Structure 1
Amino acid sequence: MASVNIHRQDNQPVYVLHTYPFKETSLVVELFAHGFGRVATTAKGARRPRSAMRGMLQSFQPLIATWSGKLELKTLHSLDWGGGLLLLKGEALMCGFYLNELLLRLLPREDPHEALFEYYSATLKILASGEDLATTLRRFELKLLQELGYAIPLHQDVSHEQIVETESY
């Protein structure tokens, strides 16, 4: 009998984008993983009161994850804290949920975007500082469009004049 090749990824940096119930005690956990993009996993037993993963499945926190599986829905085996705790409050929290929603809706599963992962991480830190939320969101949206191949050409204005960096448009 041939051995089944289970694709296992150990200790990968991730962020939780979204969770939702799966069966009686499990959760589907949508991860944004460095080098793997958006990955759908099941956290078995994560809804149980004594689950080790239950308290770690929080958005906006840098985590280290291990998962395996060869189908689209992988099995999440472990989560560990991956860095400092980020606290998003008020309007910044809503902005963070907006970023997660953009990634969930626009990124195809398992399409790696390393540069976008790094930019997402940096954007969360800026949001946690509470500085200039609107500009931070617009920059992330632009970066996301660039990563997806839909970059807006910002070389000329509507009159076909060259864009001047010091001007306001």
Structure 2
Amino acid sequence: MEEIQASVREKKRALSAENHRIAEQPGFVLHSHMYRESSLVIDVFTRDYGRVALVAKGAKRPSSRLRGVLQTFQPLSIGWSGKSELRTLTSAEWVGGMIPLENSALLYGFYLNELLLRLLAREDPHQGLFEHYVRALTRLATSESAQTVLRVFELALLRETGVGADLSLDVRNNCPVDPEGVYVVDPESGPRPAMLADTAPRVLGKTLLDMVSEDYSDPQTQQQSKLLMRFLLAHHLNGVPLQTRKILIDLRQL
């Protein structure tokens, strides 16, 4: 049934693209900034089209119905038209069903958004990653361990975008990693036994296997996975720091 539904969505997406009009697309606002006097440019993350840039005309006017709708971390049903890189927003409706983020969870949410903005190419669909994003926001809103939520999402992001290696396999022989072994993870290929000259973070094989199974109950796994993901993300971000990460590091929370 899921395959049939995905096929139907793909056909609808192709037909809509031909007409240059998209309607009722599930999505979230990742970021927005002023455009001219009364409009906004918004980056949205959608289920079937990935990250899309849209002009929300008149959204800053006091009378605009969009003023209270185009908020981050709120599930929306979005429509747009046009075929240029910057499309025109035609509709945005709040669909509800999610708990709002509050307090520190808000900052963690902005961290997820910055990762998506920096690592996702525009109009590159990632339906699996969209589901991971919804799941992460839901878990953050229910006060689940932020460390676990962030590590799970970071790893899913690298995998879904095709740059995340299989952490359960030793790249030398394609055999399972040894839980008691000490490894480094090459950002381009994956885990291999650590050597004296390595400068990359050293992690136990158990940590890698815990990450694959999303088990962060071990304090050592928590610490080693944090350092490992910081290293891997820095590589794929070409060393340019994330603004939200700098804030969270200053608060000693990431």
TM-score for the superposition, normalised by structure 1: 0.90
Alignment-derived partner of residue 109 in structure 1: 122
Q: Which runs of 5+ in 2 are unaligned?
A: 1-17, 169-176, 184-192, 195-203, 222-254
Opposite residue 153 of structure 2, the aligned amino acid is F
Q: Is the 8 A contact 2:54 2:89 kept in 1?
A: yes
The size of the alignment, in residue pairs, is: 165
Alignment-derived partner of residue 151 in structure 2: 138
1:39 to 36, 43, 52: 52
Q: Is the 8 A contact 1:6 1:70 kept in 2?
A: no
Q: Is the 8 A contact 2:98 2:138 kept in 1?
A: no
Calculate percent identity across the aligned residue pairs: 50
Aligned Cα root-mean-square deviation (Å): 1.9
Alignment-derived partner of residue 36 in structure 2: 23
Moved more, 84-93 or 70-79: 84-93
Alignment-derived partner of residue 77 in structure 1: 90
Aligned partners of 1:84, 1:8: CA distance in 2, in Å? 26
Q: Is the 8 A contact 2:39 2:59 kept in 1?
A: yes
Moved more, 157-166 or 31-40: 157-166
Alignment-derived partner of residue 164 in structure 2: 151
Alignment-derived partner of residue 129 in structure 1: 142
Q: Which runs of 5+ in 1 are unaligned?
A: none
Aligned partners of 1:123, 1:79: CA distance in 2, in Å? 22
Aligned partners of 1:79, 1:10: CA distance in 2, in Å? 9
Instruction: Provide Cα deviations, 1:138-163, integer angstroms capped at 9, x if missing partner.
Output: 11000000011121432225148965
CA deviation after TM superposition for structure 1 residue 18, in Å: 0.5
Moved more, 26-35 or 76-85: 76-85
2:109 to 73, 76, 96: 96
Bigger radius of gyration: 2
Opposite residue 136 of structure 2, the aligned amino acid is T
CA deviation after TM superposition for structure 1 residue 59, in Å: 0.4
Change (3 A) 1:77 1:107: same
TM-score for the superposition, normalised by structure 2: 0.61
Q: Which has the higher helix share?
A: 2
CA deviation after TM superposition for structure 1 residue 86, in Å: 2.6
